[in-house]
Amino acid sequence: MAVLARRDPNPFKSLSLWNNNLKQQDWHTFLPVLHNSANFVFAFQSPWQKQQMLEHGHAMIILDSTHNTVNNGSLSEGKKFSLYTFVIQDPVMGKGLPICWVFTTSAAIEPIQSVVQWLRDSTGIVPLSFMSDCALAIRNGIKSVYSDIRKRAPKLYWCIFHVLKAFKGRAQFYVQEQLRAEALANFWDILYYQRNPEAKLQVFYRKWLIVSTSLVDYVQSQ
């Protein structure tokens, strides 16, 4: 597969050839910068995927990110490509249906913002909500694209799996080992509380502020 996918030894020339090939097959692509840059983005969407997005992408769009997917010596400073997958719920099977793929060389706000803007401009869709991992760059990029419509902008949600994973990772640094399980259990109760969690959050802050101000600062900043 690697031999078939590589159309030129230089990955950027290869991507340019792929971009031309996909366009000839009526795919929708976005390739604003074609060189080794932090702003590099290559997004592509088949005609069928775009049609599915137009018909079923008005509720929630899920954005899944996988970083450092390719170790390529052509990128400066040891950078690697990141893959973003835009997903909606399949109307028949109820499972995830990819409606766009994106490669970037940076996990910063600018690349993801430019792709979300391209999808909005090319489809006209303003979904009710987005869900992603707890990356502030994704959240801020999406907020920037829809800032012009204020209250009608999509709501932003974070995947509970990634939120718990991030909290657990921080707790390993900020909380003594014998208290980590208790901290995670307390935070878990907040996430799965079916009413407004603000009161529980305040109790959590007061309790754990005595143990670790860094942990409380992290939760509040997110």
- The pLDDT tens digits of the residues spanning 150-171 come to 999 999 999 999 999 999 999 9
**Domain span including residue 6:** 2-158
- The CATH number given to whatever domain includes residue 109 is 3.30.420
pLDDT, one tens digit per residue, over 25-79 is 999 999 998 877 778 899 999 999 999 999 999 999 999 888 665 655 566 666 6
Sheet with 28-30, side-by-side order of all strands:
28-30, 41-45, 96-104, 81-89, 60-70, 129-132, 155-158
Q: Are residues 166 and 148 in the same domain?
A: no
For residues 65 and 129, membership in a common domain is answered with: yes
Comparing 140 with 9, the larger pLDDT belongs to 140
Same domain, 22 and 67: yes
Query: 148 and 186: one domain?
Result: no
Same domain, 115 and 212: no
Q: Evaluate if residue 2 carries a pLDDT over 60.
A: no
What percent of the chain clears pLDDT 90, i.e. is strictly above it?
Answer: 70
What is the predicted pLDDT for the residue at 73?
56
Residues 112 and 211 in one domain: no
Mean pLDDT score, 97-118: 93
- Please enumerate in sequence order all residues whose Cβ is within 8 A of that of 178, keeping only pairs 6 or more positions apart, or say none: none
Total number of domains in the chain? 2
My answer on whether 103 and 150 are in the same domain is yes
**Mean pLDDT in residue range 2-8:** 67
Ranges 5-9, 124-128, 129-133: which has the least confidence: 5-9
Q: Is the pLDDT of residue 206 over 60?
A: yes
- What pLDDT is attached to residue 78? 65
Q: What is the mean pLDDT of the chain?
A: 90
134 & 182 share domain:
no
pLDDT at 173 over 70: yes
**pLDDT value of position 130:** 97
